[in-house]
Amino acid sequence: MFATLSDRLTSTFKNLRTKGRLSEADVDATVREIRRALLDADVAVPVVRQFTGAVRERALSAEVSQALNPAQQVVKIVNEELVAILGGETRTLRYAKNPPTVILLAGLQGAGKTTLAGKLALQLKGEGHTPLLVAADLQRPNAVTQLQVVGERAGVPVFAPHPGNQGADDVLPAGADPVAVARAGLETARSRQHDVLIVDTAGRLGVDAELMRQAADIRDAVQPDEILFVIDAMIGQDAVTTAQAFADGVGFTGVVLSKLDGDARGGAALSVASVTGRPILYASTGEKLTDFEVFHPDRMASRILDMGDVLTLIEQAERAFDADQAQEMAGKLASGESFTLADFLQQMQQLRKMGSLKKMFGMLPGMAQMREALDNFDEREVDRIEAIIQSMTPAERDNPKIINGSRRARIAKGSGTTPTDVNQLLERFDGAQKMMRQMAKSGGMPGAMPGMGNLPGMGKKARGKAAPQRKVRGKSGNPAKRAAQERAALEGKPAAAPSGSAFGLGTPAHQPDPASIELPAGLEKFLGR
């Protein structure tokens, strides 16, 4: 979503790193580039003016002029101002003191309210709540059926007493009353002891009086604790106008951004919170029901500035990885047991639970420089690797060295790949196995660090070349003595010491016993203990 904006801001900051001090002209040029980047990203003009004005004022102040690294200080200022226009602090749902907590979803048609209702219900269910979905959108064709399907996938019950519009026209059927459905849904939630009620309402292709009146009537009927305005993050400048119209007509307490995984410029996300004064609570980042996350302004600002979002990555890993399996794997490596293909398959399957690998890699700092490689990354490669390993026998997974030519052909045929693919997997796994062994020996990540071995492929020996010979110090100029020294080095014996020294003193024939040396009185207190 923010790829273009991130690239523009990153390139702008690169020009500042070569300067030890920033003049007013440097600051003006940087602010000008930031203004252009924000406008190209469809950020609302008032927000751009407010943002660039605050950045320029702080960049010309003493906090930058007296900083040891002015460029980093400017990046820090931009990051803080981004967090401010994105809402400042993270806000979560406010729950009612007496359940059920009523959440009303409002927004234009096509913004993704129905799918988002299922995503929100699934997340709340995972947090220990018992949500109930109410199908109050009786106008859009098959909206009730869609909500029932989404609710079934999320494992959440749906209250739908009326089938809604089953035709092709976007009209309200005769006898259909969305307000009555919402009121009956609230009574059902109380009687069945659901602690959260999520009401899906109708939308329009544009803002009109009928839409606002219907949403306001449902609001008055159920008295919601939270009114979430669902907005498509791809609509650009219209986001501000639409959000302001809903704020005036219905009112809302929070914003939910949908389709944040799109390739649009993303100005809506940077405009809505600042213009309306309402915080962004959630963000929808994909088509799956699990592609839904709490919106953190500080983390989103870090993503835009290519600083990564490691905290979100850690949270996803904690949800996806089995703690018992991770502990078992750690104990296995610590005890010196071999890392097998079965373990490799298990780790890959847990990694897949975290979601798209592209998204995970994109959360790492500095990945904007590898965006082209990420875009070309084929996630189906993981499926092929999984198929190859599953086509092996348990004995082959435990000991890949027994895989000969005929076994490779059988594995390739069973997985729908080629023997070359099987060979490449085995070579990569051999490198991973060596790395795991080095981790077990050193007690940490292997690499070119003191006390640790090199990673596979880093040393000359790993590339198939002979290990370098031991360096012999003090080689003699005499060919006979030089040959004797090299022969002693190869045999592991110490080379004979030279008969003289740089100061012309000979080497003593024997070393004196330290215990026999008499020291002056009082000198022992200067010796080490």
In the prediction, which pLDDT does 525 show? 53
Residues of the chain with pLDDT below 50 are 445-472, 494-511, 528-529
The gap between the terminal CA atoms of the chain, to the nearest Å, is 65
Q: What is the pLDDT of residue 89?
A: 82
* Neighbouring C-beta atoms of residue 275, cutoff 10 Å: 18
Q: Which residues are annotated as a binding site?
A: 107-114, 200-204, 258-261
pTM (predicted TM-score) = 0.64
The span from the CA of 434 to the CA of 142, in Å, is: 56
What domains, with CATH codes, occur in the chain? Answer: 3-85 (1.20.120.140), 101-305 (3.40.50.300), 315-442 (1.10.260.30)
Which residues make up each annotated binding site for GTP? 107-114, 200-204, 258-261
Give the pLDDT confidence score for residue 322 in this predicted structure: 65
Q: In angstroms, rounded to a whole number, what is the distance separating the alpha carbons of residues 252 and 226?
A: 7
For helices 24-40 and 70-85, what crossing angle results, to 10°?
A: 40
Residue 188 is predicted with a pLDDT of: 93
> Would you state the structure tokens that stand for residue 140, as one six-digit string?
């859009």
In this structure, what token pair is assigned to residue 211?
């839409």
Residue-wise pLDDT for 417-464, tens only, equals 888 988 888 888 888 777 777 766 665 544 433 333 333 333 333 334
Quick check: 270 and 85 in contact, CB under 8 A? yes
3-state secondary structure of 226: strand
Predicted local distance difference test score (pLDDT) of residue 466: 43
